[in-house]
């Protein structure tokens, strides 16, 4: 979308959001609303918060990239956008309120902010995870990207709720701006808050507030996601022991370092990583293993700058790299992967059929002598429900389901 067209559509988006809030009776005023924003970690933090508040006895709703849930009634997000427009969130919150939910966790993106989808959310709390280089072609620059994110923080200032709280990543260079927001509670989180942290490619454990936390998610990023969730819940009076129990029981977050186990003797992981920083963090989390990596470059027609960089990172970290199709939209998918290959010192294998690429990676792992030391990492899609093609076409898709199907077929052949 051109910047001129975006500007012309601004009144349209604003009116949609304002009228939807009015039509549904401003449901956000009648419940605690916690917004989660940032480049990476939003979905994981939202799911952690949902688990914690549910464990604390609060009927909780969640609206995010992975799913929409009201209490235990959950459905996948099939919109290909984290926070849909046309008044969706106000209708969702009204339904949640009608079902007696007292808490709502809402992921908020910069694109949603530009289109005023966060209008009328009346935030009690905002969680800022981090800001990484992404969406630059859409926003125009990193500074404009930050401004779009910070507009969500400014909406917290305007919220009529009291007390308001900002929970922000002090290890991120943009965190200080969020922590300077003039609200009642400004709470930072930092990796240094996790005492005696132990991080493996299977789980993480640490101590906070004299309570031990042990979670079945790997990597330093899982520690940071957990800390942001714990400190948010703590601000609402949730006991740390309740937080620890809820996070320990959160065995799976869809498409976020999701372990697929069909009885094979190697690791198979599906993850949403689709930026250079997130890809590097995922590979580092499994740095003690030999990696077989399947990846493409999400979003034809956008963020072309990252293509050779993603290829370079995969080339440096992975024993074997298979480049494949993701979401080309109206762009030539082969051109996208060729641009990724330009950043690589070694020639990658290119298999444009995504299922065949996944099948090839799993078969390579199954034939290796040191299977127990191998991790197959399939990145870029996570829980995305479609592969987006030209002229608005879309193919129903789920990485985790495909991996599971291919593993079962592979095991049956042995």
Q: How far is CA 126 from CA 169, 213, 249, 262, 312, in A?
A: 12, 23, 25, 38, 35
Please enumerate in sequence order all residues whose Cβ is within 8 A of that of 109, keeping only pairs 6 or more positions apart, or say none. 37, 42, 81, 82, 83
b/e for 7-23, b at 16 or more Cβ within 10 A?
eeeeeebeebbeebbee
The candidate with the shortest Cα–Cα distance to 122, out of 90, 96, 92, is 90
The phi, psi pair for 171, rounded to 5°, reads -85, -5
| Residue 104 structure tokens | 């709502």
Number of C-beta neighbours around residue 150 at 10 A = 19
pLDDT in tens, the chain (414 residues): 455 555 556 788 899 999 999 999 999 999 999 999 999 999 999 999 999 999 999 999 999 999 999 999 999 999 999 999 989 999 999 999 999 999 999 999 999 999 999 999 999 999 999 999 876 666 778 999 999 999 999 999 999 999 999 999 999 999 999 999 999 999 999 999 999 999 999 999 999 999 999 999 999 999 999 999 999 999 999 999 999 999 999 999 999 999 999 999 999 999 999 999 999 999 999 999 999 999 998 788 888 999 999 999 999 999 999 999 999 999 999 999 999 999 999 999 999 999 999 999 999 999 999 999 999 999 999 999 999 999 999 999 999 999 999 999 999 987
Q: What angle do CA 293, 310, 148 make, to 5 degrees?
A: 125
In the three-class reduction of DSSP (H, G, I as helix; E, B as strand; rest coil), residue 354 is classed as: helix
From the number of C-beta atoms within 10 Å of its C-beta (0-12, 13-18, 19+), residue 1 rates as: exposed
The phi, psi pair for 236, rounded to 5°, reads -100, 10
| Residue 142 structure tokens | 């990193």
Contact 101, 59 (CB under 8 A): yes
Contact 61, 70 (CB under 8 A): yes
**pLDDT score at 141:** 87
**pLDDT score at 8:** 58
Whole-number Å distance between alpha carbons of 130 and 170: 9
In the chain the domains, ranked by start, together with CATH numbers, are 3-249 (3.40.1190.10), 258-413 (3.90.190.20)
**pLDDT score at 66:** 98
Whole-number Å distance between alpha carbons of 168 and 271: 24
| Residue 357 structure tokens | 């690429």
């Amino acid at each position: 979308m051109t910047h001129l067209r975006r500007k012309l559509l601004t009144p349209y988006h604003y009116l949609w959001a304002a009228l939807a809030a009015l039509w549904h009776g401003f449901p956000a005023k009648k419940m605690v609303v916690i917004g989660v924003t940032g480049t990476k970690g939003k979905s994981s933090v939202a799911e952690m918060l949902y688990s914690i508040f549910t464990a604390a006895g609060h009927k909780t709703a969640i609206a995010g990239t992975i799913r929409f849930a009201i209490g235990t009634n959950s459905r996948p997000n099939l919109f290909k956008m984290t926070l849909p427009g046309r008044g969706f969130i106000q209708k969702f919150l009204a339904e949640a309120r009608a079902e007696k939910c007292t808490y709502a966790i809402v992921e908020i993106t910069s694109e949603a902010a530009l289109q005023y989808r966060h209008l009328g959310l009346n935030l009690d709390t905002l969680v800022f995870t981090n800001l990484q280089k992404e969406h630059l072609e859409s926003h125009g620059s990193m500074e404009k990207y930050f401004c779009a994110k910070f507009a969500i923080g400014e909406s917290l200032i305007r919220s009529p709720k009291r007390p308001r709280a900002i929970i922000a990543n002090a290890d991120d260079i943009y965190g200080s701006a969020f922590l300077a927001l003039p609200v009642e509670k400004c709470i930072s989180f930092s990796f240094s808050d996790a005492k005696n942290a132990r991080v493996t490619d299977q789980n993480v454990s640490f101590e906070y507030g004299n309570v031990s936390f042990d979670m079945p998610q790997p990597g330093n990023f899982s520690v940071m996601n957990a800390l942001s969730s714990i400190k948010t819940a703590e601000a609402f009076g949730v006991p740390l022991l309740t937080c620890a129990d809820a996070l320990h029981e959160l065995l799976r977050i869809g498409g976020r370092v999701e372990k697929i186990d069909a009885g094979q003797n190697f690791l198979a992981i599906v993850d949403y990583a689709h930026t250079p920083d997130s890809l590097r963090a995922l590979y580092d989390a499994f740095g003690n293993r030999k990696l077989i990596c399947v990846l493409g470059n999400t979003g034809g027609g956008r963020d072309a700058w990252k293509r050779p960089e993603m290829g370079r990172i995969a080339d440096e970290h992975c024993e074997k790299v298979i480049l494949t199709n993701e979401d080309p939209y109206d762009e030539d998918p082969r051109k996208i992967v060729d641009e990724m290959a330009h950043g690589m010192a070694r020639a990658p294998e290119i298999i444009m059929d995504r299922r065949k690429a996944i099948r090839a990676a799993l078969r390579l792992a199954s034939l290796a002598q040191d299977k127990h030391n191998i991790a197959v990492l399939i990145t870029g899609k996570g829980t995305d429900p479609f592969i987006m093609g030209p002229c608005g076409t879309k193919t129903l898709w789920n990485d985790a389901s495909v991996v599971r199907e291919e593993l079962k077929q592979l095991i049956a052949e042995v």
